Structure 1
Amino acid sequence: MINYLYQLMWLVLHILASIYETLHFVLLRLQALLLWSYDLSYNSTTLTRRDRAFLQRCKAELTKLPRHLNIIIGPDPLASVNESVVARILSYAQIIGIDCVSLYDLRSKLDGQISIENLCKSSKASWSKLQHNQFEWGLDTPAPETKTLDKNGYKENGVHQENGSACNGDIYQNKTPAHLKIYQISDIDNRAAIAKICRELFEQRKTTKVQNLLTDRKQLEQHISDELAKHIKWKIVDPEFSIIFNRDMCTFGMLPWQTRFTEFHTFETGRYVNAESFAKLLYGYSKCEQRWGK
């Protein structure tokens, strides 16, 4: 009798949790629709100016920023992460001052897997392919409309231009926009790569080189790190911050050797991806204190 009662209570709780999750998701989608409709009423230049001003204010308040931002897109179909969403995140990361972004998309091509090269080709941003799955991406800086002219230079929206152009409230003095490095990570770059390297070490366990590595743990770790860098053909700073687009918190084997000290945050499924929601994640990361065992 008691077991049946427990099963009934568990079933009721499961139903209530499912109803709450569904209603919460619908509420977020309605909110996303309203925000999307609001953004749709403005042109891209106005949106870029607004987002840049907002993110610059946030940057002044943040106590720390990640140098390497990692994006994990899980198999959850409700996440609805497409090229437009990733392009917005890349632009936000560049505005806020992040050095590089790595993308790990677990979906198949039939399910909408994102290719960085195709994303760069379809966007208006300037880009170049550096080497294996490594790209450089930059925002366009359209020439502003000239409204007034004085003897010292042009004035646009109250901003004085000095040997450059005023774009989105900033002054550029013969400076090109900073480029963002982007890395495409696949399944073979994580646990499979580590297993392959360890298998090779085991096969060569009787050699002098491997025996010397086994006597010094730091040298062994450095050897594995170097071999991993050779496998993916580029060296990157370990990601300090990772955004997971999935209902469940899971790293899905994302570079386990390089993510020992990474802060993982799940982006709420159904929420609209804009500068405000991106900044909210950065504020959460900024408040995290890593005490390193103290």
Structure 2
Amino acid sequence: MVFNIYSFLRTLLSFVYCVVTFIARVWKSFRKNYLELLYKSNYVKNELEFISRESRLLRKTPCHVVVILGNESISFKDLANLTIWCIAARIPFISFYDHSGLLKKKQTELLRILADVNKGYTENIIWGKKSLTNGMTNKNGTKNGIAPQRIHVNIYSHADGKGSIVDVTNNLCQSALAGEFSSNQVTQDLLDKMLQAELGVPDPELGICCGPSFCTFGVLPWQIRVTEFLQLPTHHNVNVRDFVDLLRIYSRCEQRLGK
């Protein structure tokens, strides 16, 4: 009799969980479709103006956003949109992390799509020092005599995460063997400076994990000590309101930095 009660409770809890999950999925789908219809109306006439206006109302915005693609296939158009939206939100750094390394191999495709999405902004995109496209769009464009917002775009793979730490460690060992400094001079501050020099960007403040798995996939392990991670169900067909919602959530986060 006891066994049957436990079995019934397990079945009941499983049923309730499935119902709640289904309702949450339906609500999320309804909300997204509703917002898309609202966006297509006259309520938001220009998505870049909308982002610019909403970002000014936030208590804080990130300086560096890293988008983690996870196991999703790459949507170049959506990555290009995220880049342009960061420009509108005055976010100076955006990085894309694809642990498989496929995005690094096809990063020229991202550049091409960026040019198609908004030619007026590509002149203000600065590609990272490790990008194959570095130097192709490093221009100081102006509009009506005013220098517009510029953004630094970096593309990372698994090799730039743990691989960078290995490279820095090897350099430290070789320098120590060469007598340039002793082992007791190696500190966390020194490692921080060397890794910052290796990557050439500030630590990310907002990490966006794309896909059903809320996982970092090994992204820049030394640089994410104070990163606020949020989940995006998918970066495919991401809309401007999804992006602004993430910025709003980040703005409300109180980072205690271990205190």
TM-score, reference length from structure 1: 0.66
The percent identity for this pair of structures is: 23
Aligned with 1:99 (options 92, 95, 105): 92
The gaps in structure 2 that reach 5 residues or longer are none
Q: Who is 2:13 aligned against?
A: 13
Maintained 8 Å contact 1:29/1:272: no
Corresponding letter in the other structure for 1:91: I
1 CA distance for matches of 2:16 and 2:96? Answer: 35
1 CA distance for matches of 2:226 and 2:130? Answer: 25
How big is the alpha-carbon RMSD for the aligned residues of Structure 1 and Structure 2? 4.0
Q: Over residues 159-209 of structure 1, what are the superposed CA-to-partner deviations in whole Å (9 max), with x where a residue is unaligned? A: xxxxx9xxxxxxx53235333211101011112432454467678877755
1 CA distance for matches of 2:156 and 2:14? Answer: 36
Q: Who is 1:281 aligned against?
A: 246
Q: CA deviation at 1:266?
A: 0.9
Q: CA deviation at 1:87?
A: 1.8
Alpha carbons of structure 1 residues 229 and 63: separation in structure 2 relative to 1, 3 Å: closer
Aligned residue runs from structure 1 range 129-144, under 5 A? 129=127, 131-133=129-131
Q: Over residues 220-252 of structure 1, what are the superposed CA-to-partner deviations in whole Å (9 max), with x where a residue is unaligned? A: 324434544565xx4101001111112232212
2 CA distance for matches of 1:33 and 1:259? Answer: 34
Q: Over residues 61-109 of structure 1, what are the superposed CA-to-partner deviations in whole Å (9 max), with x where a residue is unaligned? A: 111111101111122x5xx762222222111111010001000124575
Looking at secondary structure, tell me which structure has more strand per residue. Answer: 1
Maintained 8 Å contact 2:207/2:229: yes
1 CA distance for matches of 2:107 and 2:39? Answer: 25
1 CA distance for matches of 2:169 and 2:18? Answer: 43
| 2:211 maps to 1:241 | no
Aligned residue runs from structure 1 range 68-147, under 5 A? 68-75=64-71, 82-106=75-99, 109=102, 115-123=106-114, 124=116, 125=119, 126=122, 129=127, 131-133=129-131
Q: Who is 1:159 aligned against?
A: none
Aligned residue runs from structure 1 range 74-223, under 5 A? 74-75=70-71, 82-106=75-99, 109=102, 115-123=106-114, 124=116, 125=119, 126=122, 129=127, 131-133=129-131, 172-195=143-166, 197-198=168-169, 212-213=182-183, 215-216=184-185, 219-223=186-190
